[in-house]
């Protein structure tokens, strides 16, 4: 129940807060890489999971990396 609220509130933060895009992207980086790190630790301890969880891991790393690229692109635009 609480996890659902966490996902929904993060989604609202990303979609509706246009003024604070950098904060939304940074929270997405932390959130996605945190989920991926937990999943990797679980894989190391428990072994190879169901294929769907591996897909989730790949997507979490992909979305975290995309957010990181967007933040770096935005910050480099500020320096020019």
Task: Quick: pLDDT tens for 46-69.
Answer: 999 999 999 999 999 999 999 899
pLDDT for 62: 95
- Residue 18 has a CB neighbour count (10 Å cut-off) of 7
- What does the pLDDT look like over 6-32, one tens digit per residue? 667 766 766 665 556 677 788 889 999
Mean of pLDDT over the chain? 82
Strand ranges in 8-58 using DSSP code E only, listed in sequence order: none
Is the pLDDT confidence value at 4 over 50? yes
pLDDT for 79: 59
Instruction: Give the pTM.
Output: 0.73
């Amino acid at each position: 129940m609480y996890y659902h609220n966490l996902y929904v509130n993060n989604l609202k933060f990303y979609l509706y807060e246009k003024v604070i895009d950098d904060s939304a992207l940074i929270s997405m980086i932390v959130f996605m890489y945190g989920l991926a790190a937990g999943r990797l630790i679980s894989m190391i301890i428990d072994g190879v999971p169901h294929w769907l969880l591996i897909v989730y891991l790949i997507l979490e790393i992909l979305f975290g990396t995309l957010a990181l690229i967007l933040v770096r692109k935005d910050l480099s635009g500020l320096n020019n």
